[in-house]
Amino acid sequence: MTILVTGATGNVGRNVVRGLVEQGARVRALTRSPRTARLPEAVEVVQGDLLHPRTLAPALEGVERMFLFPQAYRVPAPERFDDVADPTRAVEAAAKAGVRRLVAMSATGDLRAAITDSPMEWTLVDPGEFMLNKQYWAHSIRTEGVVRFGYPDSPGCPVHEADIADVITAALLGDGHTGATYELSGPHLLTPAEQVRAIGEGIGRDLRFEPLTRHEGRAELVRQCGEEAADHIIEYYVEWATNPPRVLPTVEQVTGRPGRTLRTWAADHAASFR
């Protein structure tokens, strides 16, 4: 049985590839740039582009199961939402090629409808906030040992990308996941100050948290990730101040073990903060 992993060189995709290989699966990885993929030797790396379904035919040949990354980038380093497209036509291409099981992450709108209307066995994995978003704080942590943030009353329960990948891997390999929608969170609801403390514990440093005004906080986010993305993120922070996200048991229910903590994530990514 061959499993195709799209988005195989991304933060989640690499962990999906790793998990599948560790469990002895035959993995084929789709990427636009095979020469720079840096994937395990056991993985068959093929070239293809989710935006161009005709390029997928060789990658889909003989594939029974597939992980679908929910975004296709129109440019190598997307900075605007217009730079990203939903790979809806890739769902049709997979079904036509005989793929029997499809697991997709964060699929919305037309892409979600295409998946749920397809004849394939499908599973949807919907993570909340990624712990990876905390890398926006990396520069000030490295240089000053401080995090400045304009939404101190907005708690979150971010999830480790490895936990997302483990749920995807379980859905690809195991039974009983067809038609399921798995919403994921991390194991703890933490205020921003508590998140900074957890990161400090993970990297072995005493960090400071300095609240900013909303105006200052937006300016800091714009500096970190651009105006369009900043305003999108702020919508969540405003919502969470009055309606915090819920800690969900899904990771443990699907994988059989508790989700990884933010402290663990920080230790895994300590190099980014040093």
Residue 268 and residue 151 in one domain: yes
The structure's pTM equals 0.94
Residue 94 and residue 213 in one domain: no
What pLDDT, on a 0 to 100 scale, did the predictor assign at position 72?
A: 61
What pLDDT, on a 0 to 100 scale, did the predictor assign at position 180?
A: 98
DSSP state of 15: H
- Other CB atoms within 10 Å distance of the CB of residue 46: 19
Alpha carbon distances (Å) from 232 to 44, 50, 83, 131: 37, 25, 15, 17
Residue 75 and residue 137 in one domain: no
Q: Is 251 a member of any domain?
A: no
Residue 73 and residue 145 in one domain: no
What pLDDT, on a 0 to 100 scale, did the predictor assign at position 244?
A: 97
Q: What is the CATH number of the domain that holds 226?
A: 3.90.25.10
What pLDDT, on a 0 to 100 scale, did the predictor assign at position 51?
A: 83
- Other CB atoms within 10 Å distance of the CB of residue 158: 22
Q: Is 173 a member of any domain?
A: no
Average pLDDT, consecutive stretches of 10 residues, N- to C-terminus, the chain (274 residues): 95 97 96 90 92 88 96 56 71 96 94 96 97 94 96 97 98 97 98 98 97 92 86 93 97 98 98 92
Residue 51 and residue 152 in one domain: no
- Cβ atoms 125, 164 nearer than 8 A: yes
